[in-house]
Structure 1
């Protein structure tokens, strides 16, 4: 059995009925393999509460120095692995104000602890109208985090994820998509720095799934953006980017990215990988996409070439960034951020 750390170098990933031990960062010969017995993105009080049944007090750097999510992220050896992920500029993962400013760092911890009771809340109503009011209340409780731009600090990412789920269940797939893109770019990369972390892979798949739900009705996306523009909450540049979006190609590329994060040897067993392949098979049946497929195949074969990087930036990063910007405006309009 591996020992615990809140800055682990390995993780246990469940695939079907199997539990596999997977490196979360580079492990050198002689290094102790450590996993986290709890969700290491939680504030210190919640981590200690979760670890209390084990009858020990964690002495890792994260706990002894009460480091916030951004400080731990800045020290991660996995930052450079985010080239080719949804992070437009991986170096920004080292430069968040909660890393470089002592006062901001202290606020990140304080506000997270203040809202810690919201984590793992079991009170989410089933009825959509009641759930909306509930989520509005939860989001208001997170306003100190929102004002400071601490989007990765718990419980804010959990609340945003619930908001995305709410919109999807309401049938508003455009808003669900926009919020999911915001979580995937402003929350998860700081929380789980390794782009192959299952949470990051699930985020990619969720965006792909929501894109599939909106691809058949491109007018819905345009109408949603136009509504934001009419309220003065979205700029024309963002509007133009979203009007040019190729939802099918973006979905396809994200699904290929999911497959890249599949643990070796488990492509046929990991549910996420199986679902991604099924969706890709459906996309492959679509006619008239020869030019798009040529570009995507070139990107897959040599993602580090200048041409592939330029294509990835245009076809994925700029589109996701525009959708994430829409997600922020959805929060401003619907939840008062």
Structure 2
């Protein structure tokens, strides 16, 4: 729906070898906004939770600043945060879809839920607006390939779409038209359930949809309300193709290829062609130098310490396959005892990654994340959770997402800050854990001294300040990570007896370059020490079966 932004152009043609593609018409540096898409063809919250979101601005009712939502009195299926959003959405699409949704509800069996599946609602919105339907003609849908797969789910959804449109559309022609729109949505829509956002739902702009995929992307898409921002993550020169990753590009090659099957193409990026892992990709990434500033992992030489070029070591490939086989469908639904047992099994199965110090390789990196969640959320052991969160921030995320302002990196800093807010009231417990781990002869005494001298409140404050400093690069002004950081900063700055600490941290925030030693002492060294502690915590609890979670 949006016009093409200055700085990018469409090349190629539908049906060509590579189809359409988006190219830069000028140079972009990492962090630059390449384009904004403010008028998408379709933007929806997740169907099952549609009443938890304003269906226009997409604000979740759980957001601290969100007013009480009002349900549409017509279809009773969508909600709005106020009259302004309700009027805007009515004018944009709901005046057409309200009756359509009611028709669908009337045709449903009484025992079926009242919510409308997101693909059905999205396709109905497209077909109810002739101008949008016309724009969809330019999109590739791989309809023939979907039919070859005999996807019954899409066929059932097509019937749902036609029921929305009315009984006169329940014809072979009407069903085929709905099926084709659903194929195009499946192929081109972005899920708003990103790794850095819990928003859910879908977003489709017909120009943004022409962006091609790479497992070594040079840009990312950030969602905020009804808008999407295309931001460079690498240097992009005039004429270069701008590429996104449609999937989690940090996953092993086999899983990436499986997830890309639904897009009906085979990726031929350098990472796939040469079967490179995260360390090999990061080693040649020119943006590693950005970590020399506001990054908790500033040792640029570490990016160069891993081998590059050539396919992955067969032992690593075997270790990835063995660990992947034991992953359950959902870890978060496990009871704590069951999860603890699984984490121990997974850690031992993935011993290759511990021995080779390749913490960032998936799926072992997920084991680290789940261990952090287990210690903190499931067992309330915030000291162990803090250590493992720092392990992730120091040994995992910098190699998976090289630019320090990547949303996942900032989300990791937020996790550390939250853990610190729980450990700071009783700082002696962290020191006790460190000394206990020293007694096992696995944790160095010099790191214990770092933690003995650690001002946990100041570390928390500085990590939150890093998040705040990167706010211009955040997905949106009301991104939950950013909002939480701002709230926590206010709370810390209002604590009594911290005038000296506040003064130093505020001065550092204004001129970090001149206070680099202060940052190194107050943030980098403690995070490094805590990362080491995280390794020992995992080895002692998960590797040696000594329960630290109690």
The TM-score bracket by the shorter chain reads over 0.9
Higher relative contact order (CA 8 A, sep 6+): 1
Matched, 1:332 2:539: yes
Tell me the distance in 2 between the aligned counterparts of 1:288 and 1:154.
44
Tell me the SS of whatever aligns to 1:115. helix
Q: Tell me, yes or no, if structure 1 residue 156 matches structure 2 residue 364.
A: yes
8 Å CA contact 1:119, 1:154 repeated in 2? no
Q: Is the Cα contact below 8 Å between 1:125 and 1:134 reproduced in 2?
A: no
Q: Give 3-state SS (helix, strand or coil) of 1:320's partner.
A: helix
Q: Does 1:19 align with 2:228?
A: yes
Question: Structure 2: how far apart are the matches of 1:15 and 1:213?
Answer: 30
Partner SS for 2:229: strand
1:95 maps to what in 2?
305
Matched residue SS, 1:145: helix
| CA–CA separation in structure 2 for the residues paired with 1:266 and 1:324 | 27
Q: SS in structure 2 opposite 1:99?
A: coil
Q: Specify every segment of 5 or more residues in structure 1 that has no aligned partner in the other structure, as ranges.
A: none
1:322 pairs, out of 529, 539, 543, with 529
Which stretch shifts more, 228-237 or 264-273? 264-273
Instruction: Render the CA deviation track for 1:273-324: whole Å, top value 9, x for unaligned.
Output: 111000001001111222212221221122122xx11001100011111111
Q: Which residue of 1 aligns with 2:247?
A: 38
2:325 and 2:338 map into 1 onto residues whose CA distance is 20
2:372–2:388 Cα contact (<8 Å) kept: yes
Q: Distance in 2 between matches of 1:232 and 1:294?
A: 39
Choose from 417, 440, 444 the match for 1:231: 440
Which of 109, 128, 132 pairs up with 2:340? Answer: 132
State how 1:220-299 maps to structure 2 within 5 Å: 220-264=429-473, 268-299=477-508
Distance 1:319 1:42, change over 3 A: same
Residue 73 (structure 1) aligned with residue 282 (structure 2): yes
Contact 2:223 2:475 in 1 (8 A): no
Whether the 8 Å contact between 1:86 and 1:185 is mirrored in structure 2 is: yes
With 114-123 and 229-238 compared, the bigger mean Cα shift is at: 114-123
Are the aligned partners of 2:416 and 2:460 in contact in 1 as well (CA < 8 Å)?
yes
For residues 95-142 of structure 1, the C-alpha deviation after alignment (integer angstroms, 9 at most, x for no partner) is 22x438x69745434432443345674255532111100111121221
1:204 aligns with 2:394: no
Q: Please state how far the C-alpha of 1:242 moved relative to its aligned partner.
A: 0.3
1:201 positional shift: 0.6
Moved more, 224-233 or 316-325: 224-233
Counterparts of 2:337 and 2:481, CA distance in 1 = 31
In 2: Cα distance, 1:124 partner to 1:294 partner: 41
Q: Per-residue deviation at 1:335?
A: 1.2
TM-score by length of structure 2 reads 0.58
Cα distance in 1, alignment partners of residues 509 and 332 from structure 2: 41
- Structure 2, unmatched stretches of 5+, are 1-208, 545-550
Residues 1:309 and 2:516 are matched in the alignment: yes
Q: Distance in 2 between matches of 1:220 and 1:183?
A: 21
Say if 1:335 and 1:171 are closer, same or farther in 2 by CA, change over 3 A: same
Q: TM-score, normalised by structure 1?
A: 0.93
- Cα RMSD, aligned residues only: 2.0
CA deviation profile, 1:179-223 (whole Å, cap 9, x unmatched): 000011011101110111111010011101101110111121122
Distance in 2 separating the partners of 1:113 and 1:286: 50
- Residues 69 and 191 in structure 1, CA contact (< 8 A), matched pair in contact too: yes
Do the aligned partners of residues 260 and 26 (structure 1) sit closer, same or farther apart at CA in structure 2, a change above 3 Å counting? farther
1:145 counterpart = 2:364? no
- d(CA) in 2 for partners of 1:119, 1:61: 28
8 Å Cα contact 2:323/2:346 also seen in 1: no
